Each structure stands twice: as structure tokens, then as C-alpha cells.
Amino acid sequence: MARVLIVDDAAFMRAIIGSMMKDLGHEVVGEAANGLEALQKYALLKPDLVTLDITMPEMDGVEALRNIMMQDSSAKVLMCSAMGQQGMVIEAIKLGAKDFLVKPVQKERMHSTLQRLLG
């Protein structure tokens, strides 16, 4: 069971991903609505995995990822965002994101990705 931090500016998306994580046997230890909150909660909670949206207010997901990786180079970050953001996805992977899931996230795809990332 992994301890997960869910970061998305849409509350309904945090709820969907949170429910999916619980169904897959993981514990949601925190949620954040923007990149700044994500950095604070990552430092405080030390989760095993972060799901991170790209487009958010305050600080976008790519900038949040950059900062998380500076805090912890072994962080496991899974980007979750809508189609049409290929440039940002490529940048996120170069910065250290472990994978990318397209919204709406499919439970089967989440499951197989988590199995690969978490062992």
C-alpha cells in the first residue's frame, strides 16, 4: 500500500483519483489544489507517490515537479492531465516524472501504472 498525495485544481478530479487509489488499496494522505500547496504538503507528508496535474493556478504542475525533485530526487511523481499538452509532458518526463496518464484517467491504466511504479 502506497501513501499518495493528489494534486489537482479540480476538487471533483481529486475525488475521482482518490476513490480510485482507495479502490486499488492505497492510502490518500493528502490533497492539494495547486503547486504551492503541493510543495508544502510533500515536505510535510513525505508521500510514496504524487499524482500531479499540469495546468493549475499559483504554480503549474511542471514547476511543482521541478521543486519536488529538488527536495527529493527519488520522488515518484505521476503526471495526470488532459490531452494537448505534449510539450509540457515531455518537459515533465525530462524533469523526473515517472509516467503520464491522460484525463479522464482509466482505472485499469492507473492500476497497471501503479504496479510498475511501486513494484
Any idea where the domains of the chain sit in the sequence? Answer: 1-82
- Phi first, then psi, for residue 83 (nearest 5°) are -65, 165
45: left (phi over 0), alpha (psi -120 to 50) or beta: alpha
User: So what's the pLDDT on residue 118?
Assistant: 93
CATH class of 1-82: alpha beta
User: So what's the pLDDT on residue 82?
Assistant: 83
* pTM assigned to the model: 0.96
Q: Which three cell numbers stand for residue 103?
A: 484525463
Task: Write the pLDDT tens digit of every residue in 55-95.
Answer: 999 999 999 999 999 999 999 999 998 876 778 888 999 99
Interatomic CA distance for residues 15 and 97, integer angstroms: 22
The distance in angstroms from the start CA to the end CA of the chain is 10
Q: 43: which residues sit within 8 A by CB, 6+ positions away?
A: 71
Which of the four pLDDT bands, split at 50, 70 and 90, describes residue 109?
A: very high
Q: Which three cell numbers stand for residue 101?
A: 496518464
Cα-based angle 51, 82, 68 (whole degrees, multiple of 5): 30
